[in-house]
Amino acid sequence: MIEVSDITKFYGDFPAVTGISFSVEKGEILGFLGPNGAGKSTTMKILTGFMPPTSGTASIAGFDIVEESLNARKHIGYLPETVPLYLDMTVSDYLAFMGNIRGMNGKEIAQRRSDVIEICHLEEYSSTIIGKLSKGYRQRVGISQAILHEPDVLILDEPTIGIDPIQVVETRQLIKDLGDNHTLILSSHILPEVSLICDRVIIIHEGQIVAVDEPENLGTNLSGVERVELEVKGPNREILAVLESVDGVQEIERDTVTGGAFHRYQITVDLGKDIRSDLAKVVIQNNWELLKLQSLGMTLEEIFLRLTIEEQQLNPEPEHAQ
Amino acid sequence: MNNLIAITAKETKAYFAMPSAYVVGAMFLVLTGVFFVFDISSPFAEAGVRGLVDWASFFTIFLAPLLTMRLLAEEQKLGTLELLLTSPVREWEVVLGKYIASLAMLLAIQFVTLYYVLMIYVFGDPDSGPVLSSYLGLILHGAAALAIGILGSSLSANQIVAAVVGTAVLLFFTFIDRVSSLVEGAPGGFLNAISMDGRLSDFTRGVIDTSHVIYFLSLIAIFVFLTIRSLETRRWR
Ligand SMILES: Nc1ncnc2c1ncn2[C@@H]1O[C@H](COP(=O)(O)OP(=O)(O)OP(=O)(O)O)[C@@H](O)[C@H]1O
Ligand SMILES: [Mg+2]
C-alpha cells in the first residue's frame, strides 16, 4: 500500500532524512518512533505530497507521490503535527469543507460528518467556532477530518498529543480500530503507545532508520543490553572491583539508599549474555552474602534511549557520514 | 470544478463574516465619498462620475491588498496550506477560488458607491454612457489590483508584508509613467505601455478602448498565473 524507496530530503544543505526505505502492507499499522528532529514529520510531509523528496521515490496505493501526486493524495487522510485548522469556522462547516475538497458529495458528507463527530466525541462542539476549542478538542477535529473521507491510507503525526489521559486510552483504541480497514502510519515519542497500537515500529534517528521490528522483539533483539539487579552483603569497594572484572558487564550503578554492608547494584550487561550465574559464582567465591539476583527487562524507553545514544557514539557526526 | 466551487464558497463566506473586511470597505467608501463630495462642490464641477472614478481607483490601490493579504498568507501562517495542498486539490483551484471570492467582496463594496452615482443623478443630469463605461473600467482596474494583491499574499506568511508588497507593486503600475517620460527609447515606451495611468480616464469619457480592456485582463491573467506558480514552487523550497 505504501512503498518508500531510498528517500532523502535536504533542507538547504541540511539532510533531514537520508536514504529511508520501507513498505507498509494493506491494513498494517506502522509506528514511527524517534526523538525530536529525527525526521518523522519530514518523512510524512513527503509521503503526503506536501513536498517532494530531494531524491528517492515513494508510492501510495500504487501512485507515485511526485508523478501522480493528485491520485496519490486522493487515498490519503493526513493529520499534520501542528493540527492546522481554520479557526474562524465551526467544526461542522470545517468538516463539510474538507469533505468537499476531497470530492465527497453532500449526502456522503452529511452521513460521514455525523459519524466522525460521534467517533471523535465532538457532538457538543459541532457548531462551535474552532478557535474557541481547547487543544485536545482541536486535536480531535484534526483526527476527524483525516478519517472523514475513509481514505485507504492514514498518516497521523503525533495524533495523541494534547489529549487527556482518559481520552488518550480511547483515542489509541480508535486508532487501533482504524487500523482494521486502513493502512496507517503514526509517529510518536511514546514507546508504550507505539508498542500498544502498532504492528511494526520503525525507529528513526537523525534522518536514518536505526531499527525496524515488531514491538515485542525490540526489547530482546535490538536493545543490545540487558540489566541485572544484584543485592549483596559485603564490602562495597571490593565487590565493585570483582563485579567489574566479570566478562560481559558494561556498567554498574550502586543504589544510594542502601547503607551499611548491604548493597544493591544495577548492572548493565551485554546483549544475549546471561551472566547471572557468573555473578553468583564470584559473590559466593568471595564469601559475601547473595541476597538477590534478578534480571531486569529494559523498558522500551531505555531501549529507545540506548539505541539512539549508541548510534550517536558510533557516528558522532552522521551528517558527514555519507 | 467542485473544488473550485468549494473554495470560492468558503472564502466568500469568510469575507462576509469578517469584521475587518467591513472596516476596510467602510474606510474606502468614506474616503472616496469625502473626496468626491469635495470635488463636486467646487464651482467648476461637472455632472459626471469622473471625480468619483479618480478617487475610487486611487483608494483601490490600498483597498485591494488589504482585502487579499489574508488569502494565502494566513494559510501559510496557520499551516492549513499543508492540509489544503495534501488534499486532492490543484494549486490553480486554490488560487482562483480565493481570487473569485475577493472579487465578490470588491464588487459588493463597489456596488455601494452607486449611492454616490445616484446623488449625481439627483443633483445633475449626467450622460449614462460614460457612467456605465466608468464602472466597467473601475471593475477591471479593481480586479487587476486584486490579482496583484493575491500574489503578494502568496509570497509571505505575514499579512502586513503581503499587503505592503501588493501596494508597492500597484503603486509601481500606477505611477510608472511619471518615470517613463525620463527614460529614452524603447524601455521608456515599454514602461509607458505597462502603466495604468490614463487608461481609466478613457473609460470615464465613455470610450471603451479594447486595448485598455486587454491590458487589464492581461494583468489579471499574469498575476493570477504568477500566484499559482508561486504556490507550486513552495513545494520545492
Ligand atoms: N522547513 C525546514 N527548514 C529547515 N530545516 C527543517 C525544516 N523542517 C524541519 N527541519 C529540520 O529537519 C530535521 C527533522 O525535522 P522533523 O520535523 O522531520 O523532525 P521530527 O522527527 O518530526 O521531530 P519532532 O519529534 O520534534 O516532531 C530537524 O533537524 C529540523 O530542524
Ligand atoms: Mg515532528
Among the partner residues B7, B81, B236, nearest to A52 by beta-carbon distance: B236
Contact criterion met (CB below 8 Å) for A130 and A90: yes
Distance CA A80, CA A157 (A): 5
Look at phi and psi of residue A5 and say left if phi exceeds 0, alpha if psi is from -120 to 50, else beta.
beta
Distance CA A246, CA A226 (A): 15
Distance CA B212, CA A196 (A): 67
| Radius of gyration from C-alpha coordinates of chain A | 25
Task: Note the Cα A177 to chain centre separation in Å.
Answer: 18
The CA angle A12-A36-A266, to the nearest 5 degrees, is 140
Under DSSP, is residue A190 helix (H, G, I), strand (E, B) or coil? Answer: coil
Residues of A in contact with B81 (CB under 8 A): 84
Mark yes or no for CB contact A48/B86 under 8 Å: yes
* pTM beyond 0.90, yes or no: no
Cell of A159: 495524533
Domain ranges of chain B: 2-234
Distance CA A101, CA B4 (A): 8
Query: Both ends of chain B: CA-CA distance in Å?
Result: 28
- B10 pLDDT more than 90: yes
Atom of ligand 1 nearest to the CA of A204: 21
Residue A69: Cβ within 10 Å count: 21
User: Where are the domain boundaries for CATH 3.30.70.260 in chain A?
Assistant: 224-297
Distance CA A16, CA B58 (A): 48
Take atom 17 of ligand 1 and give the residue whose Cα is closest: A41
What does the pLDDT read at residue A320? 44
Mark yes or no for CB contact A101/B236 under 8 Å: no
Class in CATH terms, A2-219: alpha beta
What does the pLDDT read at residue A171? 85
Residues of A in contact with B83 (CB under 8 A): 78, 80, 84, 98, 145
Is the ipTM value over 0.85, yes or no? yes
**pLDDT tens series, chain A, 322 aa:** 899 999 999 998 899 999 999 999 998 999 998 888 889 999 999 999 999 999 999 999 999 999 999 999 999 999 999 999 999 999 999 999 999 999 999 899 999 999 999 988 899 999 999 999 998 899 999 999 999 999 999 999 999 888 888 888 888 888 888 888 889 999 988 777 888 889 898 988 888 888 787 776 665 544 445 678 888 888 888 888 888 888 888 888 887 666 677 888 888 877 666 788 888 888 888 888 888 887 776 555 566 666 655 544 544 444 443 3
Class in CATH terms, A224-297: alpha beta
Distance CA A175, CA A159 (A): 9
Alpha carbon of B66: minimum distance to chain A alpha carbons (Å): 18
Mark yes or no for CB contact A84/B89 under 8 Å: no
Under DSSP, is residue B227 helix (H, G, I), strand (E, B) or coil? Answer: helix
What would the pLDDT profile of B98-122 be if each residue is shown by its tens digit?
Answer: 999 999 999 999 999 999 888 888 8
User: Where are the domain boundaries for CATH 3.40.50.300 in chain A?
Assistant: 2-219
Span B155-173, mean pLDDT? 94
